[in-house]
């Protein structure tokens, strides 16, 4: 192997094969992926995130929540006589989702932050599990207040500490005295915090679609966004 050009050619060709196969191949297959039709209702899934949630996705990106949280449910389908019986795997058992995540779940997002490591829970469906905005804000302000023993960092810099003038403002966090709230002061979420929570509440990738049906048992398809979380596990924060 002393002939430079030949090495170059081999090096370029072997790499071109990978580029062409993996990158170009997937662009051909997925480049035009459109929202899926939901079999039960005939509506389209997913809907684009509303404005505040899209802004919140930027806060999520900027603060790197994805280094501790994934947004991908993994599960193996158990199929019996051509019918889906259930999904196997810890994710579904923990109530993090009723079906595995699929490509269609992500078409509106940029960047797509599926994450690769779970220090905290998977958040693909956190908007189904935790629907309370105040809970989320308090959690971001100081995770230990709502989740004792949490090792999630606090995001106090997304909040403003203000002196109370006459009366607490409407959107100040309802913190009790023992939770570290200084008397005479109130904690008000900055717009970033509210947007971030809007994003978290918009994380609901549970719609059963053709590629990823839900097993029949748990419950019929409901498009009511305020429905109770469909968790297989008894506790919501599991």
The residues binding ligand HEC (CB under 6 A) are 60, 63, 65, 67-69, 119-121, 123, 126, 129-130, 136, 139, 143, 147, 150-153, 155, 196, 200, 237
Indicate which of other proteins, ligand HEC, none lies near residue 131 (CB less than 5 to 8 Å, by partner kind): none
178 CB neighbour count, 10 Å cutoff: 7
Query: Cβ(162)–Cβ(188) under 8 Å?
Result: yes
Backbone angles phi, psi at 86, to 5 degrees: -165, 175
Rounded least distance, CB 177 to other proteins, Å: 20
Q: Which residues face 8 on adjacent strands?
A: none
- Asked whether position 195 contacts other proteins by CB under 8 A, the answer is no
Segment holding 24, helix H or strand E: none
Query: Cβ(62)–Cβ(195) under 8 Å?
Result: no
Rounded least distance, CB 145 to ligand HEC, Å: 10
Closest residue to ligand HEC using C-beta atoms: 120
Q: Strands 36-37 and 44-45, how do they pair?
A: antiparallel
36 vs 66, which CB is nearer to ligand HEC? 66
63 vs 179, which CB is nearer to ligand HEC? 63
> Token pair for residue 54?
């899209």
Helix (H, G, I), strand (E, B) or coil at 80: strand
Q: Which of 80, 116, 176, 226 binds other proteins (CB under 8 A)?
A: 116
Give the binding range for other proteins (CB under 8 A) out of 5-13, 133-141, 169-177, 213-221: 5-13
Rounded least distance, CB 200 to other proteins, Å: 15
Helix (H, G, I), strand (E, B) or coil at 169: coil
Query: Cβ(194)–Cβ(200) under 8 Å?
Result: no
- Asked whether position 218 contacts other proteins by CB under 8 A, the answer is no
- Asked whether position 230 contacts other proteins by CB under 8 A, the answer is no
For CA atoms 51, 73, 87, 90, the dihedral sign is negative
Footprint of other proteins on 44-73 (CB under 8 A)? 61-68, 70, 72
- Asked whether position 93 contacts other proteins by CB under 8 A, the answer is yes
Q: Which candidate, 220, 238, 215, 200, places its Cα nearest to that of 75?
A: 215
- Asked whether position 82 contacts other proteins by CB under 8 A, the answer is no
Footprint of other proteins on 137-176 (CB under 8 A)? 143, 147-157
**CA torsion angle 188 193 195 196 (round to 10):** -150
Indicate which of ligand HEC, other proteins, none lies near residue 130 (CB less than 5 to 8 Å, by partner kind): ligand HEC
């Amino acid at each position: 192997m002393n002939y430079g050009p030949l090495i170059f050619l081999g090096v370029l060709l072997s790499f071109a094969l990978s580029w062409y196969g993996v990158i170009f191949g997937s662009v051909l297959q997925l480049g035009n992926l459109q929202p899926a039709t939901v079999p039960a209702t005939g509506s389209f899934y997913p809907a684009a995130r509303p404005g505040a949630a899209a802004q919140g996705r930027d806060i999520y990106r900027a603060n790197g929540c994805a280094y501790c949280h994934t947004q991908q449910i993994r599960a193996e389908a158990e199929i019996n006589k051509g019918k889906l019986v259930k999904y196997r795997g810890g994710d579904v058992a923990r109530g993090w989702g009723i079906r595995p995540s699929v490509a269609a779940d992500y078409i509106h997002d940029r960047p797509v932050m599926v994450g690769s490591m779970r220090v905290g829970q998977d958040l693909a469906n956190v908007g189904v599990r935790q629907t309370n905005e105040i809970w989320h804000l308090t959690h971001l302000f100081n995770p230990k207040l709502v989740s004792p023993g949490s090792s999630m960092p606090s995001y106090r810099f997304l909040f403003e500490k203000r002196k109370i003038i006459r009366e607490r403002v409407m959107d100040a966090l309802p913190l009790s005295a023992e939770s570290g709230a200084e008397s005479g002061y109130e904690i008000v979420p900055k717009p970033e915090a509210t947007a971030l929570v809007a994003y978290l509440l918009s994380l609901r990738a549970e719609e059963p679609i053709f590629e990823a049906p839900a097993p029949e048992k748990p419950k019929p398809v409901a498009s009511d966004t305020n429905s109770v979380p469909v968790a297989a596990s008894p506790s919501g924060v599991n």
